[in-house]
Chain A
Amino acid sequence: MEGKEMKKIAMYWGAGCGGCDVSLLSLHEKILDLLEEAEIVFWPCAMDFKYEDLEKMKDGSIDIAFYNGAIRTEENEEIAKLLRKKSKILVAYGSCATEGCVIGLANLYSREEIFDTVYLKNETTKNEDGIIPSSNDLHLPEFLPHLKTLEQVVKVDAFIPGCPPPKPVLENALEALLQGKTEFGKSVALCDECPRKDSKPEKIEINKFYRWHEKEDNGDCFLAQGIICMGPATRAGCEAECISANIPCTGCMGAVPKVREQGISMLSALASILGDMDEEKEKEIIESLQDVVGTFYKYATAKLLPEGRLKDES
Chain B
Amino acid sequence: MSFEPKIVAFLCNWCAYAGADLAGTSRLQYPANIVPIRVMCSGRVDPEFILEAFRKGADGVFIGGCHPGDCHYVSGNYKARKRVEMMKKLLKEMGINPRRLRLEWVSATEGQKFADVVSQFVEEIKELGPSPWREKK
Contact = CB atoms under 8 A, between A and B. Distances in A.
Interface in B47-90: 47-48, 51, 75, 78-79, 81-83, 85-87, 89-90
A205 interface: no
Interface stretch (A19-27, A37-45, A117-125, A306-314): A306-314
Interface string A274-313: 1010010011001101011100100000001101011111
Contacts of B83: 267-268, 271-272
A314 B97 contact: yes
Contacts of A274: 82
A265 B52 CA distance: 13
B100 to A, nearest CB: 8
B59 to A, nearest CB: 10
B63 to A, nearest CB: 13
Given A265-B48, A305-B94, A312 B131 contact: yes
Contacts of A267: 47, 83, 86-87, 90
Contact of A311 (B46, B93, B95, B127): B95
B95 A264 contact: no
Given A264-B47, A264-B48, A282 B90 contact: no
A312 B97 contact: yes
A28 interface: no
B32 to A, nearest CB: 24
A310 B96 contact: yes
Contacts of A312: 95-97, 100, 128, 131-132
Nearest to A314: B128
A283 B103 CA distance: 14
A310 B95 contact: yes
Interface residues of A, number: 32
A302 to B, nearest CB: 13
Interface in A107-132: 108
Contacts of A307: 136
A203 interface: no
Contacts of B93: 108, 291-293
B51 A264 contact: yes
A265 B132 CA distance: 23
A261 interface: yes
B129 interface: yes
Nearest to A297: B90
B94 A261 contact: no
Nearest to A107: B94
A283 B83 CA distance: 11
A73 to B, nearest CB: 23
A108 B131 CA distance: 17
B131 A279 contact: no
B28 to A, nearest CB: 28
Nearest to B54: A310
A107 to B, nearest CB: 10
The 3 closest A-B pairs by CB, nearest first: A310-B95, A271-B82, A310-B132
11 contacts: A264-B51, A267-B90, A268-B46, A271-B83, A272-B83, A282-B82, A289-B89, A292-B90, A293-B93, A304-B94, A310-B136
Interface of B: 46-48, 51, 75, 78-79, 81-83, 85-87, 89-90, 93-97, 100, 127-129, 131-133, 136
